[in-house]
Amino acid sequence: MGDNIMKILILNGSPKRDASDTMHLTRAFTDGMNEVQKNEIHTVHVIDRHIEYCTGCFSCMRNGGECIHQDDMRELLEEILRSDLLIFSFPLYCYGMPAPLKVLIDRTLPLSSMNMKKVGDRYEHIGQADFSHLKYLMICGCGFPNSKQNFEPAVAQFKLMFRDNHTVITVPESPMFNAPEAVEVTVPRLSLVKEAGRQYAKNGMIEAALMEQITSPMIPEEIYAQIVNGGQSAL
């Protein structure tokens, strides 16, 4: 992706902050990126920021981007625009992102204007700021043992919000990353994610074969469900 240092902003949507299951994946990914080239990384635990709800008044879309709320979003919007890569790291909550992260995304409205343009078969708002340089990465873990019929709504929303330059990593059975007895399977999976970070840093993409390995269950679905249901305490 070039020889320049990337400014990476991690928006951690988990209320568990650094203890998040998904942050294990995110750290492995950025560690892989840093092996290729040292980057400037800043992690924001969204739950710790004062971010008011968007009221849908649309003032910001008419007045050049000035929001009626005086909170932490002003600073965060500035940092978003200064960044090269936004990493949205979050656990799956009810087939979507946790509420604090959704509130933050709602409050990015000042970056857009009321004017619209047709792109393909849909209309989009025209930006009030230049964010064409940004790349977007979604890293999401969930507590279910399979990927199908779980991640699809969150992935669809992410791809609609960020039509271009997006990459998505989803990993089932992610609570195992915080289970010491599961290191036999979690350490190899984190190694794969680290390799994905290396590939992304070099090429701006992740090989399909590697992505398939990353997104597959770490242990058989039936065994995972049995452990969760209390039938087995360790791997």
235 occurs within a structural domain: no
- Residue 18 belongs to a domain: yes
Q: Residue 234: is its pLDDT beyond 80?
A: no
Enclosing domain of residue 86 = 7-228
Q: Is residue 187 part of a domain?
A: yes
Percentage above 90 pLDDT, the chain: 82
On average, the pLDDT of the chain sits at 93
Span 193-226, pLDDT tens digits: 999 999 999 999 999 999 999 999 999 999 999 9
Whether residue 234 lies inside any domain: the answer is no
Q: Give, in order, the Cα–Cα distances in Å from 81 to each of 65, 105, 159.
A: 13, 14, 19
Q: Is residue 235's pLDDT more than 90?
A: no
Q: How far apart are CA 199 and CA 64, in angstroms?
A: 38
What is the residue type of 31? D
The average pLDDT across 88-115 equals 95
Of 51, 41, 53, 73, the residue nearest 137 (C-alpha): 41
- For the cut 90, the answer to whether the pLDDT of residue 33 exceeds it is yes
pLDDT at site 83: 96
> Does 233 fall in a domain?
no
The domain that holds 21 is classified in CATH as: 3.40.50.360
Task: Confirm whether 193 is domain-assigned.
Answer: yes
Residue 86, in any domain of the structure:
yes
pTM of the entire structure? 0.93
Tell me, what DSSP letter sits at residue 114?
Answer: E
Split into its structural domains, the chain has a count of 1
Nearest to 136 by CA among 159, 115, 110, 117: 159
> 1 in a domain, yes or no?
no
User: Confidence band (pLDDT; 50, 70, 90) for 5?
Assistant: confident
pLDDT in tens, 73-96: 999 999 999 999 999 999 999 999
Residues in Cβ contact with 54 at an 8 Å cutoff, skipping those fewer than 6 apart? 103, 106, 107, 109
Residue 48 has a pLDDT of 97
